[in-house]
Amino acid sequence: MRYEVSGPGGRLWQIFLMQFKLGSAHDGFDIIASHDLAASASAAIPSGHYFAVAMHLAGNGHWICRRSARRLQEAAPDTVTHLCFGDEDSDTCQVTLKVTDAPIAMPPNSGAVSSPAP
């Protein structure tokens, strides 16, 4: 799988991507990626169960977890999910997170074949 995240630029938004791992901290979720959304980001991730949290820097200097997250309509068949995080008092989409079912590229096989030692 692959994720792409984008925001309005600047250092006012952050996103955390967490993967479910039984018995780990944060109610079973390990943070596997975080991004200041001064620029867009993307990366490959293994299949699994994930949770994303977008946070906005408020005027008082505190990071606020936005309650407003909604799924965007997506017609592409390889899209797993496409989410929008925004301000609660408007319908704007400040941060988008798109996850696609793109295979993780593996290094090419050199053609060598190994066999167990006798």
The continuous run of DSSP H or E covering 115 comes out as none
CA distance 87 to 89: 6
C-alpha distance across the termini of the chain, in Å: 39
pLDDT category at 10 given cuts 50, 70, 90 is: confident
Question: According to the model, what pLDDT value does residue 117 have?
Answer: 46
Percent over 90 (pLDDT), the chain:
18
In a domain, 117, yes or no: no
In a domain, 106, yes or no: no
In a domain, 111, yes or no: no
In a domain, 115, yes or no: no
The residue segments making up the domain with residue 94 are 2-100
Count of the separate structural domains present in the chain: 1
Lookup result for tokens 């979720």: 29
In a domain, 110, yes or no: no
In a domain, 71, yes or no: yes
pLDDT category at 97 given cuts 50, 70, 90 is: very high
In a domain, 113, yes or no: no
pLDDT category at 118 given cuts 50, 70, 90 is: very low
Q: Of residues 19 and 91, which shows the higher confidence score?
A: 19
